[in-house]
């Protein structure tokens, strides 16, 4: 577990902008050494300059989280620069909208590649190292409230964020009782550059585009939380090893409504079949 960030090393993806950049600032302010990883080279350079000017011990590495080789390379650069890594923030993410049946295959591939496989790659590149050094650590995956609430019109985003929540829950079950903590950040609208995600779309997933994907969504993002507030919540969540880190209490009823529906489905299920197989529940308990 991570009680203090002082002298620890953190690796953060999507670190050139928004929540990732705020995370690197907050971690550095607490005395952590930080490796910034991002696909947007210009913004990455600017973020690194800014952090170093503030006195942080920071480095940067260009990285496409959807590409396993690129993440492994970034991990090797981080080990070479700082030695041990303790905190891994799999934060890079992108969004796109449209009705389910109309979303292009390349759009699905892009969001699965960055939002979901990016987190898988980060875990696989760093977790064996954290286990081996034995000083404890923490993995934070950035999902979204969208993964819990499932609003219409952004299926690849919702589905990949739900997958990140499930991935994190599974990892927490696998690491229970160890000195490695696990958290998932489920936030809602935060004032970042997410509305222009396609600016950084790798060419193998189609053409990059600077235009906001959805003006209505862009307005909600613009009116959203300060990323620095979200970063502070994440650091507090790491310290107390919270599995779920939330930032928007006003979404509570939406999530409660979803669970009410699931519980009502259990009530209907029990009308037809008695719960006589405790081994099933035991196998599914984390």
Ligand X SMILES: NC(=O)c1ccc[n+]([C@@H]2O[C@H](COP(=O)([O-])OP(=O)(O)OC[C@H]3O[C@@H](n4cnc5c(N)ncnc54)[C@H](O)[C@@H]3O)[C@@H](O)[C@H]2O)c1
User: Does residue 111 contact residue 156 with C-beta atoms inside 8 Å?
Assistant: yes
Single out the segment in contact with ligand X by CB under 6 A; choices: 15-23, 24-32, 73-81, 237-245: 15-23
The 261-280 contact track toward ligand X, x by CB under 6 A, reads: --------------------
Candidates 2, 10, 12, 19: give the one binding ligand X (CB under 6 A).
Answer: 19
Candidates 27, 94, 235, 238: give the one binding ligand X (CB under 6 A).
Answer: 94
Q: Tell how strand 180-186 and strand 244-246 pair up.
A: parallel
Q: Does 160 interact with ligand X (rule: CB under 6 A)?
A: no
Give the shortest CB-32-to-ligand X separation in angstroms: 19
Using the 8-state DSSP alphabet, how is residue 66 labeled? T
Residues across the chain: 286
Q: Does 141 interact with ligand X (rule: CB under 6 A)?
A: no
Cα-atom radius of gyration of the chain, to the nearest Å?
19
Q: Does 92 interact with ligand X (rule: CB under 6 A)?
A: yes
244: annotated active-site residue: no
Single out the segment in contact with ligand X by CB under 6 A; choices: 96-104, 191-199, 248-256, 272-280: 191-199
User: Does residue 232 contact residue 26 with C-beta atoms inside 8 Å?
Assistant: yes
Count Cβ atoms below 10 Å from residue 146 Cβ, excluding itself: 20
| Contact residues for 269 (Cβ-Cβ < 8 A; gap 6+) | none
User: Does residue 231 contact residue 22 with C-beta atoms inside 8 Å?
Assistant: yes
Give the shortest CB-175-to-ligand X separation in angstroms: 21
Q: Does 9 interact with ligand X (rule: CB under 6 A)?
A: no
The 56-85 contact track toward ligand X, x by CB under 6 A, reads: -------xxxx-------------------
Helix, strand, coil percentages in the chain from 3-state DSSP, rounded to 5 = 55, 15, 30
User: Does residue 163 contact residue 90 with C-beta atoms inside 8 Å?
Assistant: no
Give the shortest CB-8-to-ligand X separation in angstroms: 22
Reported in sequence order, the residue ranges of the chain that DSSP labels E, i.e. its strands, are 9-13, 33-38, 58-62, 87-90, 137-142, 180-186, 244-246
Single out the segment in contact with ligand X by CB under 6 A; choices: 25-33, 72-80, 175-183, 190-198: 190-198
- Of 31-50, binders to ligand X (CB under 6 A) are 38-40, 43
- Long-range contact pairs involving 272-280 (C-beta distance under 8 Å, separation at least 24): none
Give the shortest CB-135-to-ligand X separation in angstroms: 26
Binding site for ligand X (CB under 6 A): 13-14, 16-20, 38-40, 43, 63-66, 91-94, 114, 142, 144, 187-190, 192-194, 197, 200, 221, 224
* Residues with a known catalytic role: 157
């Amino acid at each position: 577990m991570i009680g203090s960030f002082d002298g620890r090393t953190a690796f953060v993806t999507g670190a050139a902008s928004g929540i990732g950049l705020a995370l690197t600032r907050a971690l550095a302010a607490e005395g952590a050494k930080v490796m910034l990883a991002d696909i947007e080279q210009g913004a990455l350079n600017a973020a690194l300059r800014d952090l170093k000017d503030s006195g942080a011990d920071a480095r940067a590495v260009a990285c496409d989280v959807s590409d396993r080789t690129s993440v492994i390379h970034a991990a090797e650069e981080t080990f070479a620069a700082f030695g041990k890594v303790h905190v891994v923030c799999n934060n890079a993410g992108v969004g796109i909208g449209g009705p389910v049946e109309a979303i292009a295959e390349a759009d699905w591939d892009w969001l699965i590649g960055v939002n979901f496989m990016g987190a898988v790659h980060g875990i696989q590149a760093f977790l064996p190292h954290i286990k081996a050094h034995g000083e404890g650590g923490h993995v934070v995956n950035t999902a979204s409230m969208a993964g819990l609430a499932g609003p219409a019109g952004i299926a690849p985003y919702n589905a990949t964020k739900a997958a990140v929540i499930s991935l994190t829950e599974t990892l927490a079950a696998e690491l229970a009782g160890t000195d490695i903590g696990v958290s998932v950040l489920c936030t809602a609208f935060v004032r970042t550059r997410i509305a222009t995600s396609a600016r950084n779309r790798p060419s193998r997933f189609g053409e990059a585009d600077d235009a906001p994907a959805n003006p209505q969504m862009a307005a909600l993002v613009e009116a959203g939380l300060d990323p620095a507030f979200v970063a502070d919540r994440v650091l507090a969540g790491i310290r107390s090893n919270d599995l779920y880190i939330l930032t928007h209490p006003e979404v509570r009823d939406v999530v409660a409504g979803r669970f009410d529906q699931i519980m009502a489905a259990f009530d209907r299920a029990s009308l037809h079949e008695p719960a006589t197989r405790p081994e099933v529940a035991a196998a599914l308990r984390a």
